[in-house]
Amino acid sequence: MDANPILAEAVRGNWVENRHRGAYVIVDADGSVIASAGDVDRPVFPRSAIKSMQALAIFDRHATEKFHHTPQELALACASHHGEGDHVSNVSHFLERMGLSDADLECGAHMPTNDKAREALRAAGLDPSPLHNNCSGKHSGMLSVALAMGVPTQGYVTREHDVQKAVRAAVEYVIGEDLTEDRCGTDGCSIPTWAAPLRAWAKGFARMATGSGLDAGHAAGARALFDAATSHPHLVAGTGHLDTRVMQAFGGRLMQKGGAEGVQCGAIRDKGWGYALKCDDGNMTASHVMIAALLLKHADPDAGQRAVLEQFVRQPTKNVRGTIVGEMRAVEG
């Protein structure tokens, strides 16, 4: 099998230091390929890039009818947030409205991703709680599924739990492909993650963007999740992050979400296209460069949107003293 093309390179001084290979595909809701590079049929773990697909279980199991989830809560269900103040307070309120607390979260605790939030926590002499975990909003949504189903919340992260069965079924439905036991792992936040081809993830996002191929309930749920995420992009990631900045720039036109190990997925909503990208070596900065280049070429950005994307398509590399010593930049695939 041929190697995937080089889509980004790291330059130090006047010399290319690293080359980053990857694959991407853009499809419409029927699965017709608009553009692609590399092996788009190799199964990959999508990690956090498909949180909006996983959140469809909230609608499947009527949790929205039980709890009347706000757009902010739906945005957090799709989020990999940075643990900033509004992230923590909104997740806390999300849980309180359901009669739960951070003690019910099974995602684990880690320090905030955001530098200022991390420094503030240290200055206060406090340890991080599960509320600071970047997946705490997604887990709050999963807890709402458990309550709506009338099943125990304890152990909701395990593969055998009814919540994860509901999540798996929702993802399978929207991508139109089975998620099989021979391609399953455990994500960083302890829930199962299932591998499927890039082409399938892209098609799922196109179907969510258009409602094509989905029943009325799933189509409405997908629209509500995309509307919530694009209306509250800061809750989906955080200050300065590509996902937040790009969705802020594009308004409701673009759903963008990254995942660990160099995965980027989303939808160009007004075109009805879904996309999925994987940087082979998992380098996140390289994946940001790659997805910025893809969106510059295919999302029809206006001048302001182009200016934001151009900040990500060439990213300076700084040393410990803050001196620019090179850059990560896109390569035409």
Instruction: Write the pLDDT tens digit of every residue in 31-57.
Output: 999 999 999 999 999 999 999 999 999
Distance (Å, whole) CA 220 – CA 225: 9
DSSP 197: E
The H-or-E segment that residue 60 falls in is helix 56-60
Selected from 1.10.490, 1.10.760, 3.40.710, 1.10.3470, the CATH number assigned to the domain covering 6-330 reads 3.40.710
Phi, psi of 214 (to 5 degrees): -110, 150
Mean pLDDT of 95-114: 97
Name every residue whose Cβ is closer than 8 Å to that of residue 100 and which is 6 or more positions away in sequence.
Answer: 140, 143, 153
- Cα distances from 138 to residues 7, 50, 57, 106, 306, in angstroms, run 31, 11, 11, 11, 30
Would you kindly state where each structural domain of the chain is located, as residue ranges? 6-330
Classified as helix, coil or strand, 290 is helix
Residues 147 and 123: beta-carbon distance below 8 Å: no
Q: What is the dihedral of CA 192, 223, 132, 94, to 10 degrees?
A: -110
What is the predicted pLDDT for the residue at 332?
81
Cα–Cα distance measured from residue 4 to residue 37, given in angstroms and rounded to the nearest whole number: 8
Confidence of residue 229 (pLDDT cuts 50, 70, 90): very high
Asked whether 87 and 113 are in contact (CB, 8 A), the reply is: no
Q: How many whole angstroms separate alpha carbon 205 and alpha carbon 227? A: 14
Answer yes or no: pTM beyond 0.85. Answer: yes
Helix residue spans in 211-252 (DSSP H): 216-231, 233-236, 242-250
What spatial distance separates the first Cα and last Cα of the chain, rounded to whole Å? 17
Judged against a pLDDT cut of 80, whether residue 239 lies above it is answered with: yes
Q: What is the pLDDT of residue 36?
A: 98
Burial of 223 (0-12, 13-18, 19+ CB in 10 A): middle
Q: What are phi and psi of 210, to 5 degrees?
A: -110, -25
Question: What is the model's pLDDT at position 1?
Answer: 65
How far is C-alpha 10 from the chain's CA centre?
A: 24
pLDDT tens-digit series, residues 21-31 = 999 999 999 99
CA 56 to chain centre: 14
Is residue 223 predicted with pLDDT exceeding 70?
Answer: yes
- Dihedral (Cα; 226, 228, 233, 237), 10-degree rounding: -80
Indicate the average pLDDT of the chain. 97
Burial letters for 29-46: b for 16+ Cβ neighbours within 10 Å, e otherwise?
bebeebebbbbbebbbbb
